[in-house]
Amino acid sequence: MTSESGPKHVIVVGAGIAGMTAAFRLEQAGHTVTVLEQEDRVGGRMTTVERDGYRVDLGALWLSYNYTAMVRLLTDAGLAAEIQPSTNVWGVLRAGKIHRLDFSRPSGLVRTRLFSWKSKLKAINLLRDLRRATPLLQWGDMSGAAEIDVENADDWAVRRLNEELLDYLIEPLCSGYFLAEPRDVSAVGALIPLWATLKAPAFNFDAGVGTLTQLLAERLRVEYAASATRVSEDASGVHVLWQRGGREHSTRADACVVAVPGPNVPRIVPQLSERQREYLSALRYIPDIRVTFGLRRPPTEPALGFLVPCRESRDLLGVTFNHNLSQGRAPAGKGLVAAHFRGSWTGKHFASDDDVVIADALHALRETFPDLAEHIDAHQEMCVVHRWEQALLARPAHGYRSLSQFTRSINPDSRIQFAGDFLSYSATNAALASGELAAEHLQAAALKYN
């Protein structure tokens, strides 16, 4: 990407991975970019914080070599040396037993005793549907999935698979990736995590997933604690109002990328049509609470985490052994374990004090993984409770059709473009790729001719 008509000034609202990627690609093309971020740190849902020597990922924690746009960005930014291999082995709990599966090698799924032979034969339908969906899936813009978005994941699993695959594969996938039950998720949405997860090894960064946004921030101009309140455009440019510490600022620029979660967009972009406004406001982001324990000794477990199907626990969604993500997550010889919960548990606990959340989290762990809970009780020296009001986007059946109508309604020549996981699905690489697309759209039109 090179600028054909000289450098322009672009404002990016939001320093999550979507905004930071758009900013990096625009700078790389020769433009001057200012990023406005309402928090005092970059990263959004791709953030790692340090606590007592532990690196705690607050949101995203798992990255894959299937994330080709991310790997390319790391290379282009001279950050490829940050990439560390990571494990892609997950355990699934069934009747008190953990079945370990290496998602990098799907052939292992044929041998696993997690599923009966009958289910393995039925899974051929899943592979067929996945193959049909694959050409329609595009990381930065999932509107192509509209073509096959005809039913919810529960109806699809009953029709095409069987109860065992619904309970021990589709339900944990929907809960894990969307924090929602299969009936509340589009069937094509349930296929997307498989498309994104299977067949590739995982990678990570020693100091946590937030490394990427943090290192990009070192190359960009970021205004912290800067909350955008209004972004509008006219024939000669964009006008951005933003606030810091109660003071209002007004900046004119040539273009703007708005990279905040979808439902927040209508609050700051008044020039949306009524339909666009309705669509964005109705997007359903599910809240999340993560409880992460720092441990004087790591539990002995090679997997990255255990998934807990709803049949095995109504509260606990899973645990991750974050010290297995990379060496740098925990101080030498120590362990870092996170507990993840279903939406109903999160709803009940969202407003509770941290002490109550931690006690109830340990209670849920004790019921499902008594040995692990005992280990945490014996070795805990640190705990972080993090709440996300808007964690993961759950798109219902037909949600990709609505997405397609929305993306078609965006004027490609507009000086305001959008980026974020709401244009795709909730994954770092999807948000990143949407940031690249926003930068490309601005390059192709608004920044080229004015």
Ligand X SMILES: Cc1cc2nc3c(=O)[nH]c(=O)nc-3n(C[C@H](O)[C@H](O)[C@H](O)COP(=O)(O)OP(=O)(O)OC[C@H]3O[C@@H](n4cnc5c(N)ncnc54)[C@H](O)[C@@H]3O)c2cc1C
In the complex, the smallest distance separating the C-beta of residue 365 from ligand X, rounded to whole angstroms, is 18
Interaction between residue 62 and ligand X (CB under 6 A)? yes
When the beta carbons of 120 and 219 are compared against ligand X, the nearer one is 219
When the beta carbons of 85 and 370 are compared against ligand X, the nearer one is 85
In the complex, the smallest distance separating the C-beta of residue 242 from ligand X, rounded to whole angstroms, is 7
Q: Pick from 22, 60, 316, 416 the residue near ligand X by CB under 6 A.
A: 60
User: What part of residues 238-277 is at the interface with ligand X (CB under 6 A)?
Assistant: 259-261, 264, 268
Pair 203, 65: CB distance under 8 Å:
yes
Interaction between residue 29 and ligand X (CB under 6 A)? no
State the number of binding residues for ligand X (CB under 6 A): 37
Q: How big is the CA angle at 180 (ends 354 and 346), to the nearest 5 degrees?
A: 10
When the beta carbons of 36 and 136 are compared against ligand X, the nearer one is 36
> Of 22-30, 58-66, 149-157, 160-168, which segment contacts ligand X by CB under 6 A?
58-66
**Cβ atoms within 10 A of the Cβ of 221, count?**
12
User: What part of residues 195-234 is at the interface with ligand X (CB under 6 A)?
Assistant: 227-228
In the complex, the smallest distance separating the C-beta of residue 42 from ligand X, rounded to whole angstroms, is 7
When the beta carbons of 24 and 156 are compared against ligand X, the nearer one is 24
Pair 298, 323: CB distance under 8 Å:
yes
Binding letters toward ligand X, positions 37-56, x by CB under 6 A: xxx----xxx----------
Interaction between residue 421 and ligand X (CB under 6 A)? yes
Q: In whole angstroms, what is the distance from residue 450 CA to residue 430 CA?
A: 30
Local structure of 151: helix, strand or coil: coil
Q: In whole angstroms, what is the distance from residue 152 CA to residue 384 CA?
A: 35
Q: Pick from 11, 22, 33, 36 the residue near ligand X by CB under 6 A.
A: 36
Local structure of 356: helix, strand or coil: helix
Q: In whole angstroms, what is the distance from residue 366 CA to residue 360 CA?
A: 10
When the beta carbons of 15 and 73 are compared against ligand X, the nearer one is 15
Q: In whole angstroms, what is the distance from residue 442 CA to residue 401 CA?
A: 25
The sign of the CA dihedral 302, 307, 313, 319 is: positive
Interaction between residue 399 and ligand X (CB under 6 A)? no
Interaction between residue 406 and ligand X (CB under 6 A)? no
Of 16, 12, 8, residue with least CA distance to 36? 12
In the complex, the smallest distance separating the C-beta of residue 160 from ligand X, rounded to whole angstroms, is 26
When the beta carbons of 120 and 267 are compared against ligand X, the nearer one is 267
Pair 289, 387: CB distance under 8 Å:
yes
Interaction between residue 59 and ligand X (CB under 6 A)? yes
When the beta carbons of 45 and 323 are compared against ligand X, the nearer one is 45
CA-based R_g, the chain, Å: 22
In the complex, the smallest distance separating the C-beta of residue 14 from ligand X, rounded to whole angstroms, is 3
User: What part of residues 1-20 is at the interface with ligand X (CB under 6 A)?
Assistant: 13-19
User: What part of residues 288-307 is at the interface with ligand X (CB under 6 A)?
Assistant: 288, 290
Local structure of 152: helix, strand or coil: strand
DSSP secondary-structure letter at 105?
Answer: -
Write out the two tokens for 189.
């949405």
When the beta carbons of 37 and 171 are compared against ligand X, the nearer one is 37
Interaction between residue 172 and ligand X (CB under 6 A)? no
In the complex, the smallest distance separating the C-beta of residue 62 from ligand X, rounded to whole angstroms, is 4
Tokens 């090179």, located at residue: 2
Q: In whole angstroms, what is the distance from residue 447 CA to residue 55 CA?
A: 39
In the complex, the smallest distance separating the C-beta of residue 296 from ligand X, rounded to whole angstroms, is 26
Q: In whole angstroms, what is the distance from residue 171 CA to residue 157 CA?
A: 10
Q: In whole angstroms, what is the distance from residue 446 CA to residue 450 CA?
A: 7
Pair 391, 287: CB distance under 8 Å:
yes
Instruction: Catalog residues that contact ligand X under the rule CB under 6 A.
Output: 13-19, 36-39, 44-46, 59-62, 227-228, 259-261, 264, 268, 288, 290, 388, 391-392, 420-421, 426-429, 431
